Amino acid sequence: MNRRTFVKRTGTAAVAATFLPHLSFSSVTATRPLGLQLYTLMGIIDSDLDGTLKKLSDLGYTELESAFSMKGGFYGLKAKEFAAKAKSFGLNWRAHHVIGAPFKLPPGAKLPTGKDGKPITIPAMKNLKENREEIVESVAESGIKYLVCASTPLATHEEIDSSIEVLNKTHELCQKAGLGLLYHNHDFEFKVIEGKVPYTRLLTQLHPEIKFELDLAWVTKAGVDPVSLFKLYPGRFPTWHVKDIDAEFKKLLPVGQGVVNFKRIFEYADVAGLEFPFVEHDQPADAFASLSSSMAYLKELLK
């Protein structure tokens, strides 16, 4: 399916969806407590794990999705240790992000600098192409539900073919380990590659039990209606990144301060198959202020 057909189909589905029953806001958080993606706290959580988890609990978050840690492992701990640590603060660890292939900086990108003014040093990042057995084995002992591929090379059809193979092989291991496998999008998955949309290939060519974590800001930037995706592929989106973006699609914002239509999207939580909504803000100026503001907005929206 090319992008024109993709957009046409999703647009048609959106019209049809307006005639279907919606989910009431009051029932959303009753069965789906609000969580957050810990990438929001990159650079903070590694320096004060206990203090960070306490603040998150105090803000009202109860569900966690972990990400890469500069300390290695799971914020310097083994999986079981991190799960127990989170639980001691009333937090449930639900999902973990990994990359699909060896990490490479985008063309022209540079590593951020540390306090000494020098580029930071990033520990080796394990990936599903080279380390999937080790990753699945380490995560499975934690008791979490989902392993999430945060990104994977999709710039050519050869890369897409390779990524689909890697993800399908990872699914086989996850299935044996009692884990679900998800794919998390940015906006580039919706850009046409040689006449085809990579995201459509993932939706149709990955094993049907592989599901998706929909990032609401990036899909909005891509010009694709989330509700239309829910209608085309019902039950395929058990987790979301609840994230906002400005009208020019240049700056990520706390939830409720940008252009993402959260009210309409959350009405279709049942259609999507939503289990865990994870608030996220990539590299915020003040992470805790952003998380506090986002929580306040969502509590008001979903009450």
- Per DSSP, the residues of the chain read --HHHHHHHHHHHHHHHTTSPPPPGGGHHHHS--EEEGGGGTTTTTT-HHHHHHHHHHHT--EEEE---TTSTBTTB-HHHHHHHHHHTT-EEEEEEEESS---PPTT--PPB-TTSSBPPPPPPPBHHHHHHHHHHHHHTTT-SEEEEEE---SSHHHHHHHHHHHHHHHHHHHHHT-EEEEE--SGGGS-BTTB-HHHHHHHHS-TT-EEEEEHHHHHHTT--HHHHHHHSTT---EEEE-EE-TTS--EESTTSSS--HHHHHHTHHHHT--EEEE--SS-SSHHHHHHHHHHHHHHHH-
Looking at residue 175, its pLDDT comes to: 97
Could you tell me the two tokens for 302? Answer: 């979903």
- The answer on pLDDT for 150 being more than 80 is yes
Q: How far apart are CA 276 and CA 145, in angstroms?
A: 10
- The answer on pLDDT for 34 being more than 90 is yes
Band the pLDDT of 21: cuts 50, 70, 90.
Answer: very low
Domains of the chain by range and CATH? 3-15+29-104+119-302 (3.20.20.150)
- The answer on pLDDT for 145 being more than 50 is yes
Strands 244-245 and 252-253: antiparallel
159: left (phi over 0), alpha (psi -120 to 50) or beta: alpha
Q: How far apart are CA 74 and CA 81, in angstroms?
A: 9
Mean pLDDT across 157-174: 98
Residues 227-285 pLDDT 10s: 999 999 999 999 999 999 999 999 999 999 999 999 999 999 999 999 999 999 998 99
Looking at residue 115, its pLDDT comes to: 64
Residue predicted with more confidence, 6 or 188: 188
Looking at residue 164, its pLDDT comes to: 98
Contact assessment for residue 282 and residue 221, using Cβ atoms and an 8 Å cutoff: no
Q: How far apart are CA 185 and CA 197, in angstroms?
A: 13
Looking at residue 192, its pLDDT comes to: 96
> How far lies 141's CA from each of 16, 63, 136, 170, 174, in Å?
43, 18, 9, 16, 12
- The answer on pLDDT for 8 being more than 70 is no
Cβ atoms within 10 Å of 175's Cβ, excluding its own: 15
Q: How far apart are CA 178 and CA 128, in angstroms?
A: 17
